[in-house]
Structure 1
């Protein structure tokens, strides 16, 4: 089945959304009981962590950890936003840099100025968007980022998005209460799908869409560690307590180019494999054997693969043993935990 489809459904009583591209599952979002990234709290400073420059905070959903706490004293209320999911037994990661994100706009209180996505190259379009932004913001003292999805979008849709996010930001910043409180919930899977999957697609909202469109079958495959790379080569993605281990196997191909072919296929397939499994943190690649002269080509292919992925991933580099290391934001819970 060719084309893109967004399927909005539920798994049990949990909201879920899936993106299918040419009949293949490309992304999956499933709601959980954990606080959603993007949730804004009025937290209470609890205790500093000496030597780490951070502080534990009290929130309605448990302990949170904030870095860079200059001027913050225990007992002081502070606005923070959840940036990702916590590992079991650890505090929620939060930041003081609030972002109010929607389909077309990101409002950035405390970071003034209007910025437009670099992906929008046309100067006439950029001028149009600047005019819309100035009119929608009026004199509100906040920053704004216009996303790439604004390119060619209707004026009313962009202006409404900006106004809604700016109003939400202003309302939260103006709240003078001192009590610990949830001020804004993060977006659920259906809203995230509308917000982030902006390329043209068929949208399916019928109940049971996951079953009729093959999402449930694809999820069963994704729950396993194996990913086919073609020509008999395989990729194995296996999380441990300390890191995510990725092994590349050439299979029965014994040609001289088997290693580089499998590794280049890995560079293309790895972002999707990690995204679908909800994996982040430290990631170590045990690649198929290849000459050192081919390492730069592999790095370039890997960088291009992750450039199209929304989750922040740093390419750290090679180890003395010839492994390649990545550091990936824990933006999602592992699929193995979500589906238990």
Structure 2
């Protein structure tokens, strides 16, 4: 099956969305009972953690943890936004820098000014988008970012999207409540698919579409730790409590170039493997043996692959033992992996 297909369905009773590209599962969003990233709380400062430079907060969904707490005192009310999924047994990660994000616009209350995605290079298009933004948001006190999806969008749709996000920002920021409360829910999988998967695609909403379009079969593979890299090479993705370990194996290939080929294939496959499995945090790559002179080529391939991925990932570098480390935002809920 060629082309892009967005499927909006459920896994059991749980809302989920899948993106298939040329018959391959490219992305997956699954709802969880945990607070969704993007949820905004009116929270209460509880107790500082001096050694970590942060503070625990009280929220309707339990304890949250906020870093960079200069000027915040216990008992004070503060607006915060869920920034990712918590590790097991840990507090909900939150930030005080609120973002109001939709398909076409991002409202940035603490970063005034109007910005247009750098991926939109055509000057006529940029001028058209500036006109739309100024018509809707000229008097707004908040900053505004127009996303790359605006390039081919209708002006009325963009204007409506901007207005909705500005209205939500005003309602939240004008809040003067005195009790902990959820002020805005984060987006679920179906809305996230509309918001972030903006390239042209067939959209299927029929119940049971995950089964008829091969998503369930693909999920069986994704739940395993093995990821084929071609030519008999494999990588094994194994999450632990401390980190995600990725082991690259050349298989039966014993040629001099086997390690380099397997590692380059790992670089290209890693973002998709992490994304589908919902994995983040510290990632340690135990790569196949290769000469040090080939490390730069591997880093370039990995950097290029991550540019097409929308989850923030920092390339940390090489360890004395020759492992390569990354730090990835916990933007997805992890799937339970099964060793095969």
TM-score (normalised: structure 2): 0.98
Tell me, in whole angstroms, the C-alpha distance in 1 between the residues paired with 2:14 and 2:222.
19
Report SS of the residue matched to 1:191.
helix
- Give the aligned CA root-mean-square deviation in angstroms: 0.8
Report the equivalent of 2:182. 182
Query: Is the counterpart of residue 271 in structure 1 residue 271 in structure 2?
Result: yes
Report SS of the residue matched to 1:72.
coil
Report the equivalent of 1:43. 43
Report the equivalent of 1:299. 299
Report SS of the residue matched to 2:42.
strand
Report SS of the residue matched to 1:29.
strand
1:333, CA displacement in angstroms? 1.5
Report the equivalent of 1:219. 219
1:179, CA displacement in angstroms? 1.1
Tell me, in whole angstroms, the C-alpha distance in 1 between the residues paired with 2:93 and 2:152.
36
1:204, CA displacement in angstroms? 0.4
Tell me, in whole angstroms, the C-alpha distance in 2 between the residues paired with 1:245 and 1:180.
38
Tell whether the 8 Å contact from 2:30 to 2:333 is kept in structure 1 after alignment: no
Residue by residue over 1:147-200, the C-alpha shift from the partner in whole angstroms, topping out at 9 and shown as x without a partner, is 111112110010000000000000111121111100000000000000000000
Structure 2 runs not aligned, ≥5 long: none
Report the equivalent of 2:76. 76
Where in structure 2 are the equivalents of 1:1-340 lying within 5 Å?
Answer: 1-336=1-336
- Structure 1 outlier segments of 4+, above 2 Å: none
Report SS of the residue matched to 1:149.
helix
Residue by residue over 1:191-230, the C-alpha shift from the partner in whole angstroms, topping out at 9 and shown as x without a partner, is 0000000000000000000000000010010000001111
Residue by residue over 1:284-326, the C-alpha shift from the partner in whole angstroms, topping out at 9 and shown as x without a partner, is 0011111111100000000000111111000100011111000
Residue by residue over 1:108-149, the C-alpha shift from the partner in whole angstroms, topping out at 9 and shown as x without a partner, is 112110011110111111111111111111301000011111
Structure 1 runs not aligned, ≥5 long: none
TM-score (normalised: structure 1): 0.98
Q: How many residues get paired?
A: 337
Tell me, in whole angstroms, the C-alpha distance in 2 between the residues paired with 1:138 and 1:263.
50
Moved more, 150-159 or 34-43: 150-159
